[in-house]
A and B are shown apart, each in its own frame.
Chain A
Amino acid sequence: MLPSPRDGTGRAIGATGASPVTYLAGSACTRFGDHGGQGTLDLMAEAADAALADAGIERGDVDGLLCGYSTTMPHIMLATVFAEHLGLRPRYCASLQLGGATGLLMAATAHLVVEGGGADRVLVVAGENRRSGQTRDASVQALAQAGHPEHEVVLGATIPAYYGLVASAYLDRFGATEADLAELAVLMRRHASTHPGAHFREAITVADVMASRPVAEPLKLLDCCPVSDGGAAAVLSREALNDHCLEVIGTGQAHTHQHLSAAPSLTEFGAGPSAQAALEQARVPVARVRYAGVYDSFTITLAILLEELGLASRGASGRLAAEGHFSAGGPVPLNTHGGLLSYGHCGVAGAMAHVAELHRQMTGRAGDRQVPGELDVGLLHGDGGVLSSHVTMVVAR
């Protein structure tokens, strides 16, 4: 392996001494968009085989399996359904559910499973035909169930509505504007335009975002991620399986509420404590992060998370995006595949695309999209519910 990167004081970043190490050894994501005719298991299998190939191992080498859920294929045992489908005989196997945070939860849990000796080569995989496999109303209604059934869902509330409420409080409290939020959508689209697998690649402007039809004020259509079909997978391992491994050096979580009505605050959520735990474990300050993969279901989600993670000051994330801070050539390249907002969102696999892109970029394998500079420390963050559940992972090259 390459020498461990150093933090500002010259200390080695990452695991030291006898502590077990987990590597992100392989990753892949399919094209996102319309995969009409393909089901959940098809998309999962496509992503899984690509991630195994990336890691340089065979199906038979997998001894751990973590899956999430699929709204188009509800099942009480998705992980064993998939193990059977792929011919896997894992000694550790589980399905996890934490809404939008599930993808990163699976990766973080794989790290704990490896660290705890539960398995040596864990396949983490998700996929869903969320776009072609159900009506748009069914998708909107399935996701709205993150709200309280008797008190919130009965109000005609939807996920965009919950986030619209959060956005109103954010804009009021921090003095940012709707145009500031639009800058984040513009940035994600610019990044997606460089990736052939992205769901939406046509350039957009702040004016386009502002003129798009309202969904849940102040959020407009282009403030919202699309509903996509797709799959993504990763391999986390005890051994460095190839020369493009990253080291998992810290994970953290925070869970402050489920329902927005019961949130401790409407302007401060759990991303800060989650990131703090992960960064403390990694023994790196947030200022050392050279690449970020941050959950971006809506522009407001991305703004709040960037600011609570410490990657932008309060109210400033849109302005920083406009100034190029999060661009491919900027100090902290962000979601260079286009994120959920433009690469697309197919449920659990949506956030795992951030993992696959970070893996490509930090190992110098992003081809035409490769960002310059030494990307030695990366941070991933996902949230589920309405900024309810948070998972952070810090990785090092």
Chain B
Amino acid sequence: MSDEGAALTYQACAGCGARWWFRRERCPTCGRAGPLDRASAGEGTVEAVTVVHRPPSDDWRPYAPYALVLVWLDEEFRAMGLADRGLAIGERVTARSAVRAGNRVPVFGRLGTSAPVIR
């Protein structure tokens, strides 16, 4: 399947300026209604990384082992995503959109490298 499309969106509060990943009806910090929907540039820094060897279901077995990361995006919010193998905490990464186990998800790869290898 295609690996194209906006990889990450987030929301921002026009009142207090808070930014967050999960879609909500109101700002979780100040309660203001109508948060702004924004597209992230997808670039950030790896905060945590794991490689899953024991997948939760048959859907995920073909992909295992697969890497997951927590990334602090440059727009100042955190997201979780799949990732290319071999990333380390502190590395700069960029997100692309991909379909895994039937869902469109963000996949992070090292910033500045082309032709990401996905396993």
Contacts and interface: CB of A to CB of B under 8 A. Distances in A.
Interface of A: 137, 140-141, 144, 148, 150-152, 154-158, 160-161, 164-169, 172, 213-219, 259-263, 266
A314 B116 CA distance: 37
B49 A261 contact: no
Contact of A216 (B20, B50, B69): B50
A248 B56 CA distance: 40
A261 B50 contact: no
Given A148-B22, A161-B68, A260-B80, A156 B60 contact: yes
Interface of B: 20-23, 47-60, 63, 65-66, 68-70, 78-82, 89-90, 100-101, 103, 105
Contacts of B65: 214
Given A164-B52, A166-B48, A168-B49, A151 B57 contact: no
Given A137-B56, A213-B53, A261-B70, A165 B48 contact: yes
B70 A156 contact: no
Given A215-B54, A217-B53, 7 more contacts: A137-B57, A141-B56, A154-B103, A156-B56, A160-B52, A164-B50, A165-B68
19 contacts: A148-B22, A151-B22, A154-B103, A156-B59, A156-B100, A156-B101, A158-B52, A158-B55, A158-B56, A160-B54, A164-B68, A165-B48, A168-B50, A168-B89, A169-B48, A214-B51, A216-B51, A261-B21, A261-B78
Contact of A155 (B20, B23, B80): B80
A261 B21 CA distance: 8
Contact of A156 (B47, B48, B63): B63
A391 B91 CA distance: 35
B52 A161 contact: yes
A161 B58 CA distance: 17
A351 B70 CA distance: 28
B70 A266 contact: yes
A217 B68 CA distance: 10
Contacts of A154: 101, 103, 105
Contact of B54 (A150, A158, A169, A261): A158
Nearest to A259: B22
A152 B101 CA distance: 13
B54 A216 contact: yes
Contacts of B81: 155
Given A154-B105, A262-B20, A168 B48 contact: yes
A156 B100 CA distance: 9
Contact of B21 (A151, A157, A158, A266): A151
A140 B50 contact: no
Contacts of A263: 78
Which of B49, B50, B53, B90 has the most CB atoms of chain A within a 10 A radius of its CB? B50
Contacts of B20: 262
Contacts of A219: 50
